[in-house]
Amino acid sequence: MNSNSLLVLKSKRILFVEDDAITRTQISNTLKMLFKEVYCAEDGEEAFNLYEDEHPDIILTDVRMPKKDGIKLTRQIRQVDYHIPIIILSSFDDKNLLLNAVNLAIDGYLLKPIEFTALIRALSKAIKRTHTTPNVVTFNKSLVFNCDTKEFYNGSHITTLGSKELELIELLLENCHKTLSKEVIESKLWNYEIQCNSAVKNLVLRIRKKLGHNIISSIRGIGYRLNIDDAFIEKYTGGRDMPLRLSVV
């Protein structure tokens, strides 16, 4: 799965419905690595209650379940919501049941046992129908920052920064067209509290170790700025401050 698909899923919440406890645990553990929130139900009645309470972004449901099966659950949801993507899980002997889902606008179905790549492909395809572009910043071809989840994505790898590291990144993003002096950074991050002379330098070094040396540039005797995609800077500033990218604050 590419980083864009990972970003989309990571900002979403999924409702997973499966009556078999072992299968539910196994698949939900995988979903927790991919989604912001995972809500689990063991039958259609519990699932519909969770749907009404939690308002998930996508539903993954088994077909054969006690109390209310996946087809009846889908039909009940479609009476009030034709927007949410729904993917159905089935066994080979469930094909007749799936014929009843033809007019329920399902976004796909997966055969058990589920292959990981097939699961990712189906989820990504379904969610693309309804998602809006995440609030992301592109640093280069492989490194992006999700401003909503506060996470960095490098391919399929996720990196979470410490609180001060994140504060510095966000401060530099807010001033992406400028070079910030060490004194300005200290005043913003520590509110003029006394810090050792190397506090900012050490913070930058920690970020570089996690995200790569080139993410922050040091301008000798002046300060620091982000190395960021020029297309983002122009979009962020409207082009008005582009000549001041190396100006000092």
Question: Which stretches within the chain are classed as H helix?
Answer: 3-10, 21-34, 44-54, 70-78, 95-99, 116-128, 163-174, 182-190, 199-211, 230-237
Same domain, residue pair 215 and 169:
yes
What per-residue confidence (pLDDT) applies to 193? 75
What per-residue confidence (pLDDT) applies to 106? 84
How many domains in the chain? 2
What per-residue confidence (pLDDT) applies to 97? 66
What per-residue confidence (pLDDT) applies to 95? 61
Tell me which of 96, 128, 160 is where a domain ends: 128
Tell me which of 128, 150, 171 is where a domain ends: 128
64, 94 contact by CB (below 8 A): yes
Same domain, residue pair 62 and 155:
no
Same domain, residue pair 148 and 110:
no
Same domain, residue pair 177 and 122:
no
Same domain, residue pair 102 and 147:
no
Same domain, residue pair 49 and 75:
yes
Domain of 120 in residue numbering reads as 3-128
H-run or E-run covering 153: strand 151-154
What per-residue confidence (pLDDT) applies to 101? 67
CATH number of the structural domain spanning residue 218: 1.10.10.10
Same domain, residue pair 28 and 46:
yes
Same domain, residue pair 171 and 217:
yes
What per-residue confidence (pLDDT) applies to 147? 81
Tell me which of 100, 128, 156 is where a domain ends: 128
What is the mean pLDDT, run by run of 10 residues, along the chain of 249 residues? 68 93 93 93 95 94 90 90 89 65 79 87 85 70 81 80 93 86 91 81 93 88 81 44 36
What per-residue confidence (pLDDT) applies to 141? 75
Distances, alpha carbon 225 to alpha carbons 32, 60, 156, 193, 246, in Å: 35, 44, 26, 22, 8
CATH number of the structural domain spanning residue 43: 3.40.50.2300
